[in-house]
Amino acid sequence: MASLTSLGDEALIALDTISERATGLFYPNIRLGVTGLSRAGKSVFISALVHNLIHGGRLPLFEPAHNNRIAKAYLEPQPDDGVPRFAYEKHVEDLIKNQVWPESTRAVSQLRLTIEYETASGWGRWFSGNKLHLDIVDYPGEWLLDLPLLGKDFATFSREAIVRAKSEKRTEIAKEFLGLADKLESNAQADETAVRELSDSFKTYLANCRNDELALSTLPPGRFLMPGDMEGSPALTFAPLLGVTDRAEPGSIQAMMERRYEAYKSLVVKPFFREHITRLDRQIVLIDAMQAINAGPEAVADLERALVEIMSCFRPGAGNLLTSLWQRRIDKILVAATKADHLHHESHDRLEAVVDRLVKNVTVSAGFANASIETVAMAAVRATREATIEDDGDKLPVVVGVPAKGECIGDDVFDGIRQTAVFPGDLPDDPELLFKMESLPEQRFVRFKPPKLEKTAEGVTLSLPHIRLDKALQFLLGDRLQ
């Protein structure tokens, strides 16, 4: 990890940490990073977490809630005035009142949830005041995929990007970009028009990689997909080159691309890493494994590659009482496969086995020896219920819900109103098969609308239903509420 930061960066990180530790001496805080790849459900997870804690949702696997030790939870102003606030109220309104899923994360945002609780320890009561500030940091997975670029020069970035573009799953949608790149000599005189044309074609190719049929995950540079106020800037106007050399000729196209690539890292990636990633205590990475499974083996392999690259850029480890005063490390990482409600519970253990397989190459890394990594199959908001139907005398386990408008199974296109039962099929017992099988002909996952919340006999609206959100909370926060 040292190669991703300079000594100056580390000094600034240490000063930030010392300041935050001093502020939280009597009322400790924990910074939870929430990220995930496209449409994994980051906004849904945060909204459901906060809603269930504030409204006393059913969380039997979250020990402090199960034992009624949480006195109350409430929102407070966030500590970072320069970071947008997470739009919790808007997202909850979308979920509950409008029954639509919240908009995708497009920038870093933050929310502070304060939890007051009873502790079983008199020693803990003396020092902590039975209060914990949970600072939730939400950031796009697309930006997270940029972190590995900090350890790569332009030549390495180009070679890897070209190899991916020429892969079987991508070659057709990368055809225009590869054609333009093939005509461009890396050592030719720099030409702004040619560079911009190649960059625009590269961005179009990256955007097309995200469609449902491909569901690819490894798509750096991530800010190309979400440029924001930097759209059109030279730092976002570059592309990988064919025939790149280790030393660029002065004034050449490669020299221009290299300069802009390095500007992208220094102006976009490094500040994001230093100001946000290095300040995290806990991390949850949400993945839509079923979307990748739907798209086939290459999408599953690409998801694995993305996870390995993402997690290699965290700062894992368990600091001691002294070093933690100036050095923050992520001591717990949870990798969660979302949308478990799209499967019958009989397949949830198989979905968890898929996640275990996806992170296998990370967990054996020496850098994670002092960090705890767990996996879970969950649905932060449960959109379906389970049932059994008969088909030619056979009983089939199904999920029942309202598919989103435009979703289809075969020739059946749903209108967003009609409820239906879906037999999604079974995941294989051996997750390795997902890296080899050409398709899963009897498997179909569709997107469902958020559920209509039930009310009690007294007319009180219940909290958002979930699957194993409480298990996730126990892993991420349970030890800090003792």
Same domain for 239 and 281, yes or no, is: no
Name beta bridge partners: 135: 31, 112
**Helix ranges (DSSP H) in 283-438:** 289-295, 297-311, 348-358, 360-363
Listed residue (383, 387, 358) closest to 373, CA to CA: 358
Whether the predicted pLDDT of 326 surpasses 50? no
| pLDDT for position 449 | 93
Domain membership of residue 85 (yes or no) is: yes
Same domain for 70 and 185, yes or no, is: no
* Token pair of 341 as six digits: 């409600």
Highest mean pLDDT among 33-37, 90-94, 229-233, 404-408: 90-94
| pLDDT for position 311 | 81
Domain residues for 200?
149-263
Cβ atoms of 245 and 254 within 8 Å: the answer is: yes
Listed residue (112, 91, 116, 302) closest to 209, CA to CA: 302
| pLDDT for position 460 | 56
Mention every residue, 6+ apart, whose C-beta is less than 8 A from residue 305.
217, 218
Measured N-to-C along each axis, helices 192-208 and 175-183 cross at an angle, to the nearest 10 degrees, of 160
Cβ atoms of 44 and 101 within 8 Å: the answer is: yes
Same domain for 119 and 155, yes or no, is: no
* Token pair of 208 as six digits: 């097309």
Highest mean pLDDT among 60-64, 80-84, 320-324: 60-64
Domain membership of residue 202 (yes or no) is: yes
Pick the more confident residue, 475 or 27. 475
Same domain for 200 and 57, yes or no, is: no
Same domain for 329 and 474, yes or no, is: yes
pLDDT in tens, 129-138: 589 999 999 9
The CATH number assigned to the domain holding 118 equals: 3.40.50.300
Domain membership of residue 427 (yes or no) is: no
Cβ atoms of 386 and 380 within 8 Å: the answer is: no
Highest mean pLDDT among 67-71, 144-148, 270-274: 67-71
- Count of structural domains, the chain: 2
What predicted TM-score, i.e. pTM, was given to this entire model?
0.85
Q: Is 407 exposed, middle or buried (0-12, 13-18, 19+ CB in 10 A)?
A: buried
Domain membership of residue 24 (yes or no) is: yes
Same domain for 215 and 88, yes or no, is: no
Residue where a domain stops, chosen among 207, 237, 263: 263
pLDDT in tens, 188-215: 999 999 999 999 999 999 999 888 677 7
Q: What angle do CA 424, 425, 429 make, to 5 degrees?
A: 135
pLDDT in tens, 142-196: 787 788 888 899 999 999 999 999 988 889 999 999 999 999 999 999 999 999 9
Domain membership of residue 447 (yes or no) is: no
Q: How confident is the model at residue 91 (pLDDT cuts 50, 70, 90)?
A: very high
Q: Is 230 exposed, middle or buried (0-12, 13-18, 19+ CB in 10 A)?
A: middle
Listed residue (273, 215, 206) closest to 239, CA to CA: 206
SS3 of 41-96: the string is CHHHHHHHHHHHHHCCCCCCCCHHHHCCCEEEEEEECCCCCCCCECCHHHHHHHHH
Same domain for 158 and 129, yes or no, is: no
Name beta bridge partners: 372: 332
Same domain for 158 and 282, yes or no, is: no
Domain membership of residue 446 (yes or no) is: no
Q: What is the mean pLDDT of residues 58-80?
A: 94
Same domain for 343 and 473, yes or no, is: yes
Same domain for 477 and 345, yes or no, is: yes
Residue where a domain stops, chosen among 263, 288, 318: 263
Rounded to the nearest angstrom, the gap between the alpha carbon of residue 304 and the centroid of all alpha carbons in its chain is 13
Whether the predicted pLDDT of 318 surpasses 60? yes
Cβ atoms of 57 and 463 within 8 Å: the answer is: yes
Mean pLDDT of the chain: 85
Q: How confident is the model at residue 461 (pLDDT cuts 50, 70, 90)?
A: low
Of the ranges 81-95, 110-124, 312-326, which one carries the lowest mean pLDDT score? Answer: 312-326
Q: How confident is the model at residue 411 (pLDDT cuts 50, 70, 90)?
A: confident
Same domain for 331 and 475, yes or no, is: yes
Q: How confident is the model at residue 322 (pLDDT cuts 50, 70, 90)?
A: very low
Q: What is the mean pLDDT of residues 28-42?
A: 88
Q: What is the mean pLDDT of residues 439-449?
A: 68
Q: What angle do CA 11, 16, 21 make, to 5 degrees?
A: 125
* Token pair of 482 as six digits: 């003792």
Q: What is the mean pLDDT of residues 271-292?
A: 89
Q: Is 403 exposed, middle or buried (0-12, 13-18, 19+ CB in 10 A)?
A: buried
Name beta bridge partners: 316: 330
Same domain for 101 and 14, yes or no, is: yes
| pLDDT for position 447 | 87
pLDDT in tens, 330-368: 899 999 999 999 999 989 999 999 999 988 877 665 456
Rounded Cα gap, residues 434 and 299, in angstroms = 10
H/E element holding 13? Answer: helix 7-23
Cβ atoms of 300 and 435 within 8 Å: the answer is: yes
Q: Is 121 exposed, middle or buried (0-12, 13-18, 19+ CB in 10 A)?
A: exposed
Cβ atoms of 158 and 278 within 8 Å: the answer is: no
Rounded Cα gap, residues 207 and 219, in angstroms = 8
Domain membership of residue 421 (yes or no) is: no
Q: What is the mean pLDDT of residues 471-478?
A: 97
Rounded Cα gap, residues 398 and 409, in angstroms = 14
Cβ atoms of 133 and 116 within 8 Å: the answer is: no
Whether the predicted pLDDT of 128 surpasses 70? no
Residue where a domain stops, chosen among 263, 287, 307: 263
Q: What is the mean pLDDT of residues 44-51?
A: 96
Looking at residue 265, what DSSP letter applies? Answer: I
| Residue carrying the six token digits 């959109």 | 383
Whether the predicted pLDDT of 477 surpasses 90? yes
| pLDDT for position 2 | 38
Of the ranges 81-95, 246-260, 402-416, which one carries the lowest mean pLDDT score? Answer: 402-416
Rounded Cα gap, residues 102 and 118, in angstroms = 33
Domain membership of residue 25 (yes or no) is: yes
Whether the predicted pLDDT of 450 surpasses 80? yes
